[in-house]
Amino acid sequence: MKPNHASTQPIGIFDSGIGGLTVAHAIVRYLPKENIIYFGDTAHLPYGDKSTAAIQAYSVKIAHMLLQQECKLILIACNSASAAAYELVKEYIGSKALVTNVIDPTVRLLKEKYASRHIGLIGTRQTVNSHIYKKKIDELNLNIRLSSHATNLLASAIEEFGDHQVLDSLLRVYLSHPNLRNIDALVLACTHYPVIKNKILEQYVSSNHNTIDIIDSSDIVAQAVKKQLETHNLLNANGVCSKHFYVSDYTESFAANARLFFGEEITLEHYPLWD
């Protein structure tokens, strides 16, 4: 597939809220000349407790908007939306732009580094119940044992409190679950979770008395996006990394977190998905 877009066109990134900012920030680090358009669907967050049909409707609507912005690549920076809507979005976009998700690059890392290991995974109920990671990992046939646990309140708590000690008790309950014992690594299968990555590791060690690898998809996905753009000769060699942020509902927490992530003043443009 070869999109009809010049290399100077932007990368479109979307998530239900601030979670995708972890991926967007990594992309800015790895691809400092790329122009970024970010859509935070704050009116419908979190996606993790929404139905598959609802997530698909939101995702296609956002993808349409990003196509109107002439994005050369659309990144679904949300595990729940990647699980529920990636194939549908890809079909809807067709050859108009590249489409990628946050699940496949993480599975590729597991393939390369964790054969015959016991892997834990935490994510939203939507992501865990889709069994998409298990299906993809089983297809590798590398004797990787996956133990998943839905940590459904985490994304909303991170949206509300960020990296605050109020999350400690929540993490203590989640990370002491029997499914997550005796694992070699823990996949953070929600793009909100890297915001509290260090806290997750500390609480896991405290609850289980052993250390593990934390698999944060942000850098992994950014590297995959870079490789995809290189493959299609779409890297921007002359850009200045302009950043444009849209939200479906204005929230001060999103604005504050965007400023924190990028260390600069951020202007949010209100773009309701449905009038």
Binding residue numbers for substrate: 15-16, 47-48, 79-80, 191-192
Catalytic residue among 21, 66, 190, 195: 190
78: annotated active-site residue = yes
Residue 44 CB-half CA count within 13 A: 26
Pairwise CA distance, residues 173 & 159, whole Å:
19
Residue 39's DSSP bridge partners are 14, 246
Pairwise CA distance, residues 96 & 91, whole Å:
10
In the annotated binding site, the residues are 15-16, 47-48, 79-80, 191-192
Catalytic residue among 71, 77, 78, 221: 78
Distances (CA, A) of 216 to 139, 193, 222: 22, 8, 11
Report the 10 Å Cβ neighbour count for 187: 28
Give burial (CB, 10 Å; 0-12/13-18/19+) of 132.
buried
User: Which residues form the catalytic set?
Assistant: 78, 190
